[in-house]
Structure 1
Amino acid sequence: MMAAKAIRPARLLSRTAHIVPGQLRVTELTFEVPLNHSNLSAGSLKLFGRQVTKHETPIVPRTNSEQDEYNRKPYLVYLEGGPGFGNKEPQDHNLTKTALDKGYTLLLLDYRGTGLSTPINQPHLATLGGPQEQADYLKHFRADSIVRDAEAVRLCLTADYPETHKKWSIFGQSYGGFVALTYLSQFPQGLREVFLTGGLAPVKRTAEEVYTALYKKVVQRNEAYYRKFPEDVERVRKVARYLKENPTSLPGGGELTVERLLGMGLCLGMNGGLDLIHSTILKMAMDIEQFGFITRAAGASFEGSVPFDTAPIYAILHESIYVNGSAHGASNWAAYRVGKKLAAESEPGLSWLSSAVVNDDEALSSADTTNDKPLYFSGEMVYPAHFSCYPELKDMRQTAEILAAYDQWPELYDLDQLARNEVPVYAASYVEDMYVDADFARETARAVKGTKVFETNVMYHGALRAKTEEVLGQLFKLRDDTLD
């Protein structure tokens, strides 16, 4: 069981507001929080967030007290996916309209290390010292630290609110749902309600168990891809053969290896992902056919498909999100180990993983490109080879090795607290989710007392973006309607 933790309120550094067309008032906020909430002398970080309310011009001007009351609407805090992504601008965010229509003040708070909240980047890490110092710094960027930040911000922003408005609601998409369950474990007293979309984290499972389940869905999505685009069996192999024989640089400075190419499978689990991959493969294959090389335009298009350079924290901390305390041990490149075993035993489409060595300094480049079998794309998995072909990751390789071997991670989830949870939880869960196994999601829903779930097999992980009104309608129906 996690011990109760006292949190010092964040220090508000700045607050500036502007009006956005569409009747939005956006207030940009910066806060200071400790790097380590348990050791205030270890330094500090800057957090950034956007507070969003409706911009209204009342017919009868409000008195000061009426304006104060109007401004104190309860907060709904959006927790973004990742790990590693900052928030969109409010006018482009899928949650903005519904949140404001429902009477909330929306807070889009960038997690530490992402967006504009002291984002992780290689040049800054290099100023901290060697790989060990960098790893020690990055240990403070998991969900346990994120929720301490959020609670510190809550205490700051609601300091003069009436007691009825001091608690806030949170909305977690994907990894944001993982963060929300950590929040429920550590600071349930700060929460009014929790909404989750594709975020019922596998709270009882190890990294090996998670990846064993997720590879099955990755294989299914590859099969769906090649059913839709059977002509791409040869095209993917053509591009892979070219890359094995011709070192290819990308416009952003990295190397396009077979492993990096197949990592584009990260998109397979999203609406439109099959078509995005097909379009990219088609362009590369036709470049090779027409010119004998891959053009800058194709390379630039490809680079945006997997964001490890622009969000390196996604790659370097990804496996750690599945390690719930020291009892789970080290992640030790779990995705690579599970994938390699699967390739050797039953999945020839993953043959490019089967003969590689974790500590190779070079990319794997072991794919058999000589036969007519389809090469399978990987999914959300991060491999050691990725730290050889992405410019932003190359100098983080030793740091990544230290984190992969680290076996003293603190707990993220308090299963006892979740079992006696009293905060309402409303979740959308997707049977065909490639990133959060549906069976593990059901297990978690049973483990968190009071969870109501809308489950569907006709949506994918990105349904909040692709089918916004339907998803949000179902979630708020869980909250507001009577189940009888």
Structure 2
Amino acid sequence: MTVSYRQPGVVLTDHRFTVPLDHDDPAGESIELFAREVAASEKARQDLPWLVYLQGGPGFGANRFVGKQAWLGRALKEFRVLLLDQRGTGHSTPANRQTLPLRGGPGAQADYLAHFRADSIVRDCEAIRPRLTGGAPWTVLGQSFGGFCAVHYLSTAPEGLRAALITGGLPSLDAHADDVYRAAYPRIERKVAAHYARYPQDIERARQIAEHLVRHEPVLSNGYRLTVEAFQSLGILLGGGEGSHRLHYLLEEAFVRTPQGPALSDAFQEEVQGLLSYAGHPLYALVHEACYAQGERPTAWSAERVRAEFPQFDAAKALADDGPLLFTGESVHPWLFDTDPALRPLRETAEELAARTDWRPLYDPARLAANEVPVAAAVYHDDMYVDPEHSLRTARAIGGLRTWVTNEFEHDGVRVGGPRVLDRLLALTRDEV
């Protein structure tokens, strides 16, 4: 059953689809997908080509836009847009601490979650495409992890694509997660250095907060244990266009005077809780490293192991040496499953996934080299989350792909500069620039 309704300038239609959990076993268990169709009010009855948005993540539902926000207004000039809640996210069949025990124990939960990577997401798209387009190909817009999905799409089902637009999401075709993080930590260090150069007062503020956490290790109102390592992970903000400023304003309101002495302010703790909790997107923590897994080599908590190769990120060492505390970025660590109450019940499941050795290949280099689908990719020169060198190497491996390399935007360029970014990518696929 579909339901249509209106917002300013747009008509929205909600869709629900039933798809196999395992597309290789179509008669087996099924799950539900939710997707929201968006059309400009004045074009709602027109026969328009489709554009499918593949959200970044993994583990996040599609954007909940109001009207024609961000890139959506530009897209609606010529497309009917589908905002897909990828399996396990948003209004699709959820996968979290509350629902996963229905699967059984940690091993069964890990087997279930092995079906929540780019390969299954693309097969979901191909399952629902004929129902919406009558079999016609559509255009995909993949942001970050959504770009990983788009590259898998080009590898396995290019016949379903009219064009592919990728923003900050060209993955390495063959790098292990270890390679990804060895490239990531130096980029993160540069981002932290740039932040401290802009806001030198934050060097001492970050140290003071870290020293306070070592002494007190507070528990936030939702039960989150705010350790120093958890505090360091606020560096994930530095990957966004406004992230450095947001981090600065957060740090400057950290402390308040109380009768017992300085304490972390309620306002600081409340904002930190919202930034660090995985309650709304637990799949991000569970399958993040699995997004890079191919073949028999396990991920084995890659980000944690590789971090040991960069001792400058060791908080205890920084505090002992009177050096600056380095923040970290987009990485998942085993201690998250101790600090975050939304993840604690899933610790053994995460361990099972980290040890898994039967991952399918995600990309087909030969098929990508022979690609004939128009593809354009924005590669953000200073991207903290996706390595630009890995992205450019992949760009050269995909036939006909055109790149737009820019340092005008950070990883969230499609959000902050959406109309311009989308316009440029569409023009590249049409040889208009």
**2:34 corresponds to which residue?**
48
Matches of 1:148 and 1:287, distance apart in 2:
55
- Structure 2: unaligned runs, 5 residues or longer: none
**2:273 corresponds to which residue?**
303
Matches of 2:430 and 2:366, distance apart in 1:
28
Residue number among 358, 364, 377 corresponding to 1:414 in the alignment:
364
Identity of aligned residues (%): 40
For residues 157 and 243 of structure 1, do their structure 2 counterparts lie closer, same or farther at Cα, with a shift above 3 Å needed? same
- Conservation of the 8 A alpha-carbon contact between 1:259 and 1:386: no
- Conservation of the 8 A alpha-carbon contact between 1:426 and 1:451: yes
* Runs of 4+ residues deviating >4 angstroms: 286-291
1:98 counterpart = 2:74:
yes
**1:464 corresponds to which residue?**
414
**1:222 corresponds to which residue?**
192
Matches of 2:398 and 2:276, distance apart in 1:
33
Deviation at 1:99, TM superposition (A): 1.2
- Conservation of the 8 A alpha-carbon contact between 2:55 and 2:63: no
The aligned runs of 1:182-201 (5 Å cut-off) are 182-201=152-171
Aligned to 2:2, the other structure's residue is in SS state strand
The aligned runs of 1:162-177 (5 Å cut-off) are 166-177=136-147
Residue number among 52, 62, 82 corresponding to 1:77 in the alignment:
52
Residue number among 206, 231, 240 corresponding to 2:210 in the alignment:
240
Query: What CA deviation, in whole Å up to 9, does each residue of 1:152-208 have, x standing for no partner?
Result: 01022223x6xxxx1111000111000000111111111110001111111121111
Equivalent residue pairs, number: 432
Residue number among 301, 323, 334 corresponding to 2:293 in the alignment:
323
**2:2 corresponds to which residue?**
15
Query: What CA deviation, in whole Å up to 9, does each residue of 1:16-58 have, x standing for no partner?
Result: 1011122x11000111111111113431111101111122399
Indicate the structure (1 or 2) with the bigger Cα radius of gyration: 1
Matches of 1:287 and 1:145, distance apart in 2:
52
Matches of 1:36 and 1:258, distance apart in 2:
40
Deviation at 1:235, TM superposition (A): 1.3
Residue number among 89, 101, 112 corresponding to 1:137 in the alignment:
112
The aligned runs of 1:239-318 (5 Å cut-off) are 239-286=209-256, 291-318=261-288
Matches of 1:39 and 1:441, distance apart in 2:
34
TM-score by length of 1: 0.86
Deviation at 1:372, TM superposition (A): 2.1
The aligned runs of 1:394-413 (5 Å cut-off) are 394-413=344-363
Matches of 1:209 and 1:380, distance apart in 2:
14
Matches of 2:257 and 2:340, distance apart in 1:
22
Matches of 2:260 and 2:165, distance apart in 1:
50
For residues 330 and 415 of structure 1, do their structure 2 counterparts lie closer, same or farther at Cα, with a shift above 3 Å needed? same
Name the aligned partner's letter for residue 351 of structure 1. D
- Conservation of the 8 A alpha-carbon contact between 1:75 and 1:104: yes
Aligned to 1:51, the other structure's residue is in SS state strand
Name the aligned partner's letter for residue 176 of structure 2. T
For residues 335 and 288 of structure 1, do their structure 2 counterparts lie closer, same or farther at Cα, with a shift above 3 Å needed? farther
Deviation at 1:463, TM superposition (A): 0.9
Aligned to 1:194, the other structure's residue is in SS state strand
**1:476 corresponds to which residue?**
426
- Conservation of the 8 A alpha-carbon contact between 1:147 and 1:183: yes
- Conservation of the 8 A alpha-carbon contact between 2:71 and 2:417: no
CA RMSD of aligned residues (A): 1.9
Deviation at 1:289, TM superposition (A): 11
Matches of 1:289 and 1:309, distance apart in 2:
33
For residues 275 and 291 of structure 1, do their structure 2 counterparts lie closer, same or farther at Cα, with a shift above 3 Å needed? farther
The aligned runs of 1:148-167 (5 Å cut-off) are 148-159=123-134, 166-167=136-137
Deviation larger for 452-461 or 49-58: 49-58
Name the aligned partner's letter for residue 206 of structure 2. V
Matches of 2:178 and 2:231, distance apart in 1:
24
